[in-house]
Each structure stands twice: as C-alpha cells, then as structure tokens.
Amino acid sequence: MTAIALEDVYKSFGPNLVLSGISLDVAAHEVICLIGASGSGKSTLLRCINLLEPIDSGRISLLGHQVTGTGIDANRVRRQVGIVFQSYNLFPHMTVLRNVTLAPMKALGMPRAQADELASELLARFGLADKQAEYPDRLSGGQQQRVAIVRALAMQPQVMLLDEVTSALDPELVAEVLDVIRELADGGMTMLIATHEMGFARDIASRVCFLEEGVIIEEAPPSELFTDPKDERTRRFLRRIVDAGRM
Amino acid sequence: MSGNQPAGGTNRDGPEDGSAMLSAGLSAGSPAAGFGAVGRGPRLLSGGGRRAGVVSTLSTLVVLGALVAIFLAAPGSQQVRHTFFDPQDMWQSFIGNPKKGYYSVGEAIWLNIRMFLAAEVLILILALVIALIRQSTGPVLFPLRVLAMIYVDFFRGVPLLLVVYAIGFGLPALRLSFISNQSYAVYGVLALTLSYSAYVSEVYRAGLNSVHRSQVAAARSLGLTHGTAMRYVILPQALRNIVPPLLNDFISLQKDTALVGVLGAIEANQAAQIYGSTVFNYSSLTVAAILFLVLTIPLARFTDRLIDRDRNRRLAGAVT
C-alpha cells in the first residue's frame, strides 16, 4: 500500500523554483532518506506534504486520498502526518507533558486523563519519564528534540516527516535522537527523513533519494546509491561529503 | 463646573480643630511618603552586601536631604508650603465637607478606580479584537482590516481630551433613549476605552509578531486550527511579552481618568480643583497626586514581580 504519493510536484517562492517536478512513492512501513545540499528542496518537500506550504501544481496523496486541490481540510490531514523540525519548536510556555498533550486534547478532543496517560507512556518509552514537569528551556537539545518527536507521535500519525532533526544538535547529542528514530523504524513507522547524516541514512533507509535544485536526481537503495552512484551529480555530492569527513 | 459649587465656606478651619488632624494628615500623605519609595534603593541593587546597603542608604539620604534643604531655603518656600502642602488643608480636602461646598478627594478617587477598572477590562477585549483583525490574512476580512486600520489611525491621532468632550457632550445631545441617559462616568469610560484600545491594539500586535513564526508552524503541523493555535500557543507567549508595555499604558490610563473631570464627574482631580477654588488653597491637588501615586506604584512593583517570577521559572538551572 502506498503511504505517500507525489506526482509532478512544483513549488516556487516568488521567482525561486524550489521543487521542480518531484514524483515519489513511499510504501507503508518504508523509510526514505532525502539527501542533498542545503537549498536542494528537502525541507520544502516535507513542508508541502504536511500542507504547511501550498504547492503550485502536481498532486500529493496520503494513504490513497488526494490531499492537494480545493476542499481539503488541512487540519485533518496534518493530524495523520507528524512532522519534526530542525529547531524543535517546542512551546516554551508549557511543560513537557502539556507540549505533548496539547494536540491530542485540542485537535482530537481526547480527555485530559487519557491524553496524560498516552503522553506519560510515550515519554517513558523514549527515556523522558522524569522530564514531564520540566519546561523546554531546561532540557538539553537532544532531550528537546526527543520531546518534539514524542509530541508528533502523540497524534498517532500514519506517517512521520523528519526535517534535519539532528542538524542543530551538538555532536554528542545526535546519537540519542537517532536511536529514537531507529526505534520508530523498527516499529514499522513510515518515514520520510531529510538528513545530512549519511551513515545513519545508509543504516536505516530502505531507499535514499538525492535531490539537487528541486529535482530527484537519483533514487536507490542505500547500498547502491552510496557505493555505486549512477549520476555524475550524485558522485560529486558524495565526494564532497567524504572530503568533509562526514562519511 | 467648580464655579457652580456653593462657595459659602471660604473661611478656613481654625488651627484648633485642625491640630488633631495634623498628625493624621502627615501620615496619610505627606510628600515624604511619596519619596519613601526611593529610599528602597538597596532592594534594587543586585547582590550588594550589607556594606553596599549602608552606602546606598546614606547616599540616598544625602541626596534627599539636599533636595529638601533647597526646597526649604527657597525665597518662596513658605508660600509654596502653605499653598500646596498645608497639612490641615490636605486633610480637609481628603475627607471633604459638602456643607462647605467641597467634596472628599479620598472618596472621589474611587470613581477614578472604578472607571479605570471598567476601562481596562473593555480595552483588553476591544484591543485584542482589533489586533486579531489587523493580523488576519483571509481576503474575506479585507474590509474589516481597513476599518480596524482607520480606527487605530483615528483614535491614536485625536487628543484624548477631545474624545472625552465629543462623547461626553455629543452623545447626550443626540437625545437617544438609552445612549443619551448615561452618567458622565460611563461616557468617560467609553471615551477612554475608544482611545486606549487603539494604542493597546498596537501593543498586542507587537506581541503577536514577537512570537516566532516557527511556533505557528509547529502548532498547525499538529493539526490545530488557526484559532486553537492562537489561543493556546501564540497568545500566551505574546501576552508574556507585552506585560510591561501594557502596564505602561494602564498606568497612563489611571492618570487619564482625571480627564473625565472636564465633563463634571466628581473624580479626584475635579474634587481637588473644587476644593482649591472654594477654599483658595491647593493642597488638595497634592492629595490627589499622592492618591494617584498610591495607585500606580504598587501596580508597577507587582508587574516587576510577575516578570521576574516568569523568567526565573523558565530559566532557573537552564542547560545551555
């Protein structure tokens, strides 16, 4: 079954063409990593799937239902698609617990007791049981990002979109967040991950897509794409990564 | 309006009935009580020890002493003290005496308090509505946005005094059944609300803009509607940011309730002026000034505490 289907998606900001005819199918339980230089369109692609950005043309379908075009309840779509941002974006005026329970209570109408229970369970699962009453400012970056992932998971989404979730973290905090994502993948979560962590992408992805200038240049299983890239532009990008000591 | 007051009692109370009031008058509102707040200097110091406390207390006393000495040594000091700081007159104007043609300033201040409490609530609501309209994006709301903009431009541009006159004398002149039968205090509150809402809506707007766009994105990405995101995510953060400027406007509002006196409402300033033009002593104005200070200073300190508490709660032991 296809979880996400993109068909010839175009998106521009003013005169800048950011997505230039993206087509991609993501099967249920598949983990796809998007790699490419900054500005290649990875983040925009994820934001379009979450309907945070309207697309100019093309079609996006989630779980077999088209979500672009007129008459779509964006809020209903977003409840099924979790997204986690590079800069966490936790709500600073709420405790960790309230960060997690806000959407289940206010978007799904879940009673507080039930939302609290769900949140406690999820927080405990990701090693954050003792942080429930803390405010985000008092947590490390890694902890904040794990809370942000839990916050998205609390809506019990069908699909998770991760937008360079480790890019803002100190190197020693990256592993704890990647472990969380691994656990999600092992649990069968369908994920679309924009990342600069090539080692991680090689480990976790069922397929890797290389983007450049809003186009998917190459799309292959990691074993193929990282060892035997077909396209010259992919080779050039990977060579730069290796030269920078990032792989 | 003060001219309408019966000026029968121009003869002053003799010292014999006033002497009992003298000490009470001093403690209730001598100028020293107003300056007392400055003497709390040491509490404003951060991390100063006992020595720093002693030094700052001494220097405060020296400065205050110098100012008082200059005041006492001035050629017209005697006259000024008699006209503006006479303890007997201060006490008499504070308690009032309708038989002698003047009202109690202490009682009249309650009208100011009632007016600004009513106006504050109305302003907070109206200003928020205006701010939310101005921040809206949908094309359907375009006419409302234009109206809101005109409203803000108009009431920020017209002096409050003119708005008070226009409402206070204009609405009764219309001779409509409900609208024209209200008290001057009600018209005053209406004028204050109309004028201040324009300012406060801009404060709200600045607060809403101070919340980073990524917070909106995070809230909406979870499937929250625009309204829910506004209510639970954006507004609470915006309100925290605007407490100081909002308080600033409200202190200003507390003082501006005195303008409603021009309509004839007996608020503190008007009562003090009536006393002055009845008895020919203006110590009543000093009483009014002290009463306004008593209202505004605690509010300022309270807000400082709120800000500190919020900051401490969120930043204590922060991991960086």
List the pLDDT tens digit at each of the 247 positions of chain A. Answer: 789 999 999 999 999 999 999 999 999 999 999 999 988 999 999 999 999 999 999 999 998 889 988 888 889 899 999 999 999 999 999 999 999 999 999 999 999 999 999 999 999 999 999 999 999 989 999 999 999 999 999 999 999 999 999 988 888 889 899 999 999 999 999 999 999 889 889 989 999 999 999 999 999 999 999 999 999 999 999 999 888 877 6
Tokens representing B261 are 């006196």
Distances (CA, A) of B312 to A236, B41, B186, B308: 50, 22, 41, 6
Q: Cα(A78)–Cα(A99) distance, rounded to whole angstroms?
A: 17
> Which domain does A65 fall in, by range?
2-89+160-243
Q: Is A194 on the interface with B (CB under 8 A)?
A: no
Tokens representing A99 are 């960060």
Using an 8 Å Cβ cutoff, are A210 and A36 in contact? yes
Structure letter (DSSP) for residue A87: T
Residue A151 falls within a domain, yes or no?
no
pLDDT for B108:
92
Considering only CB atoms, B232 lies closest to which of A83, A106, A151, namely A106
Element containing residue A145 per DSSP (H, E): helix A141-153
Q: What is the mean pLDDT of chain A?
A: 93
Alpha helices (H) in chain B, listed in sequence order: 15-29, 31-35, 41-44, 50-73, 77-84, 87-95, 105-135, 142-157, 160-173, 184-210, 213-221, 226-229, 235-256, 268-279, 283-315
Closest-approach residue (CA) in chain A for B232: A102
CATH number of the structural domain spanning residue A172: 3.40.50.300
Residue A118 falls within a domain, yes or no?
no
Query: E strands of A106-213, at which residues?
Result: 159-163, 190-194, 207-212
DSSP β-bridge partners for residue A2: A27
Residue A210 falls within a domain, yes or no?
yes
- Region of B264 (left: φ > 0; alpha: ψ -120 to 50; beta: rest) is left
Q: Is A75 on the interface with B (CB under 8 A)?
A: yes
Closest-approach residue (CA) in chain B for A170: B320
Question: Does the distance separating the beta carbons of A93 and B236 come in below 8 Å?
Answer: yes
Residue A164 falls within a domain, yes or no?
yes
Tokens representing A7 are 């068909």
Tokens representing B296 are 């505004």
Q: What is the separation of C-alpha A39 from the centre of its chain, rounded to a whole number of angstroms?
A: 16
Closest-approach residue (CA) in chain B for A144: B319
Question: Does the distance separating the beta carbons of B224 and A107 come in below 8 Å?
Answer: yes
Q: What is the ipTM of this complex?
A: 0.90
Considering only CB atoms, B224 lies closest to which of A90, A103, A137, namely A103
Using an 8 Å Cβ cutoff, are A87 and A199 in contact? no
Question: Does the distance separating the beta carbons of A139 and B237 come in below 8 Å?
Answer: no
Residue A117 falls within a domain, yes or no?
no
Closest-approach residue (CA) in chain B for A75: B223
Whole-prediction pTM: 0.75
Question: Does the distance separating the beta carbons of B315 and A139 come in below 8 Å?
Answer: no
Most B-contacting residue of A91, A147, A153, A163 (CB-CB within 10 A), to test interface? A91
pLDDT for B314:
64
- Domains of chain B, first to last: 105-314 (1.10.3720.10)
A187 contacts: CB under 8 Å, gap ≥ 6: none
Residue A72 falls within a domain, yes or no?
yes
Tokens representing B98 are 């309708």
Residue A140 main-chain phi, psi, to 5 deg: -70, 165
- How wide is the angle at C-alpha B268 spanned by C-alphas B264 and B269, nearest 5°? 70
Q: What is the separation of C-alpha A10 from the centre of its chain, rounded to a whole number of angstroms?
A: 20
Q: What is the pLDDT along chain B (320 residues), one digit of tens a residue?
A: 444 444 444 444 444 444 444 344 334 333 444 343 444 444 565 556 788 889 999 999 999 999 999 999 999 999 999 999 999 999 999 998 888 889 999 999 999 999 999 999 999 999 999 999 998 888 888 999 999 999 999 999 999 999 999 999 998 888 888 878 788 999 999 999 999 999 999 999 999 999 998 999 999 999 999 899 999 999 999 988 888 888 889 988 998 999 999 998 899 999 999 999 998 999 999 999 999 999 888 888 887 887 787 777 666 544 43
Structure letter (DSSP) for residue A224: H
Q: How many domains does chain A have?
A: 1
Residue A83 falls within a domain, yes or no?
yes
Using an 8 Å Cβ cutoff, are A142 and A169 in contact? yes
Q: Is A137 on the interface with B (CB under 8 A)?
A: yes
Residue A128 falls within a domain, yes or no?
no
One-letter amino acid for residue A203 of the chain: D
Which residues on chain B are in Cβ contact (under 8 Å) with A79? 222-223
Which residues on chain A are in Cβ contact (under 8 Å) with B319? 138-140
pLDDT for B316:
59
Most B-contacting residue of A62, A67, A96, A102 (CB-CB within 10 A), to test interface? A102
